[in-house]
Amino acid sequence: MTVVLAGVGADSTNLGTLGPLYDDGRFEYIPIPEKTSKTTESETLGSWTLQHDDRTAADLTTRIEPQPVRGGVETVSGDALENWPFHHDPNFEALTYGEHRTSGYLSRLSALESGDAVGFYAGLRRPDGGRAHRYLIGYVTVDRVDVVTPETPAAERAEILAAHSDNAHAKRARDDGLYLADKSVVFIDGREPGGLFDRHPIRLSEYEVKPGNERAQYYLRDEIAAEWAVTEGGENMMYKPAYRCECTGEEFRRLVGPLEERTDPDAAIGRSSTR
């Protein structure tokens, strides 16, 4: 039984901005733009209205590059921006999450079992323009885990995609083939308890200078690493690593606190030592 922390959501590399964290502790979860327009996803940058603001996600940027810049494939701007679909992953309403990233993501997520948890963290910035940080914004309790590889037989692949039809990776599949045919994808079906926090996400990062680095960088907070028993993923949070925690899903849910009616954003840290 274990927990994986996964970095998700819009940031400067994909949407060109971070989701806002308001002074009262409320925040905005904004998914990343999809890599392709050929998806059945109905949510677009223009339809995604911020929960606590009258703006849409399209109002937060002027252009996106859905494909890696080095590929030089496509830039979306102007009127096309509003119609560009999201890669709505994780989908907190459907409690589904899919992932093809390596660097620890596939292996750690694939090893999860029913009752484990996936915690999701994203970069958020306060309206005053101060230092951005990585925050835990919610989680899902694991119900089912499936993996599709390039070697998965077509019939089995089609069955898995159908079982995860609400997932963004299934929505952009064509003829039962994954969009990135040469990559494996792990699909996580979640169950309750799970979802977004209503407010007060938990700050996971510290911006500081550490021995061996001349400049300050984002690191996982020491108290988080200790309390959640983080054993894999390293300290540096710069590139959104996947963290493996040896605490159980039950312990994790107790430590982070309720999804709703949250108060002090740091109340979960040290929770176990006060009970």
Tens-place pLDDT, residues 199-247 = 999 999 999 998 888 899 999 999 999 999 999 999 999 999 999 999 9
pLDDT of residue 267: 54
Helix (H, G, I), strand (E, B) or coil at 58: helix
Residue 228 DSSP one-character state: T
Indicate the pLDDT class of residue 274, thresholds 50, 70 and 90.
very low
Find out whether 116 and 1 touch, Cβ atoms under 8 Å: yes
By the 10 Å C-beta count (0-12 exposed, 13-18 middle, 19+ buried), 186 is classed as buried
Indicate the pLDDT class of residue 105, thresholds 50, 70 and 90.
very high
> Does this model's pTM top 0.85?
yes
Number of structural domains (the chain) is 1
- Distance (Å, whole) CA 198 – CA 261: 7
Model pLDDT for residues 31-41, shown as the tens digit of each residue: 999 998 899 99
Indicate the pLDDT class of residue 1, thresholds 50, 70 and 90.
confident
Model pLDDT for residues 53-74, shown as the tens digit of each residue: 999 999 999 999 886 544 445 7
Pairing of strands 3-7, 96-99: unpaired
Average pLDDT, the chain: 92
pLDDT of residue 273: 38
Residue 35 DSSP one-character state: S
pLDDT of residue 270: 52
Residue 274 DSSP one-character state: G
pLDDT of residue 265: 61
Where is pLDDT greater, at 141 or 211? Answer: 141
Is a pLDDT exceeding 60 seen at residue 48?
yes
pLDDT of residue 263: 86
Q: Compute CA 266 distance to the chain's CA centroid, rounded to the nearest angstrom.
A: 20
Point out the least confidently predicted range of 97-106, 127-136, 157-166.
Answer: 127-136
> Rounded to the nearest 10 degrees, how much is the dihedral formed by the CA atoms of 163, 158, 144, 90?
-70
pLDDT of residue 70: 45
Q: 203: Cβ–Cβ under 8 A, 6 or more apart, which residues?
A: 133, 134, 135, 221, 265, 266
> Residue 220 has which token pair?
């996982």
- Distance (Å, whole) CA 245 – CA 179: 30
pLDDT of residue 271: 52
Domain that holds residue 266: 3-274
Is a pLDDT exceeding 90 seen at residue 75?
no
- Distance (Å, whole) CA 197 – CA 131: 21
